[in-house]
Amino acid sequence: MSRGRLWLQKWRWYERNALPHNRIGIHRELARRESFARWPIQGNVLEMLQEDRLQLGPHVLFEPNVWITGPAPARIRIGGGTFLNMGVMVAAVELVEIGEHCMFANGCFVTDGNHRFDDPVTPVPWQGFTTKGPTRIGDNVWCGANAVITSGVTIGERCVIGANSVVTTDIPSFSIAAGSPARVLRTIAYAEHPSGGLPPDAPVAG
C-alpha cells in the first residue's frame, strides 16, 4: 500500500464521525433513542449504537466533543435524562453504567479500564488495557469539572463529586466527596422526600 493510500485510510478512520453518511447515521441512531448530540461527537459512537453496545435512555444529551469509546465487546449504558457537558469522556473495556438524570461537568472522565505498562519491550500505547471490573454510577449523581471515575468503582445515587476529584474507591449513596483520591466529606439528608421522610437508610448529615 502506498504512503498516500495509507494516510487516506487513517484519515478516514480518525475522521469517520465527520463523514456525511456517518454523521447522518449517528443522528438517526440517537433519534431512535430520543437522545441528542451537539456536534461534534467523538469516538466509535456509531459502531456502538448499531451493535447495541451503547445503550441510551431518552433525553440523554451530549454537548460538543463528548468522547465515547468502547472496543467490542465493551458496553456503555447511560440512563435517561443524563447530561454530559463539553469534553466528557466515557471509555469502556467491559462495562460502564451511568444512571438516570446524572450531570457531568466539562472534562470529566469515566472508565472501567487502565492502560497496561508492564511489558518492558512493547510500546505502552500498544499494550492494551486491564480492568478491575465494571464502573457504575447511580441515579442523580453530579460530577464537577474534570472529575475522574476509575476502574471498578461504584458511586451510589444522589452523590456529588467535587471538581478535579479522582474517585478510586466506592462512594456510598447521598455523599458529597472530593479530593485526590476522593473522600466522603459529608452525607446528605433531606428534610422532605417523596417517600414521606428521609431516604431509606440515609445517614444524618454530619
How many other C-beta atoms lie within 10 A of the C-beta of residue 147?
26
Q: Active site residue: 59, 101, 115, 193, which one?
A: 115
CA distance 104 to 31: 22
CA distance 21 to 109: 28
Does the active-site annotation cover 115? yes
Rounded to whole angstroms, how far apart are CA atoms 203 and 174?
A: 8
- What nine digits make up the cell of 133? 471490573
CA distance 68 to 61: 13
The catalytic site residues sit at: 115
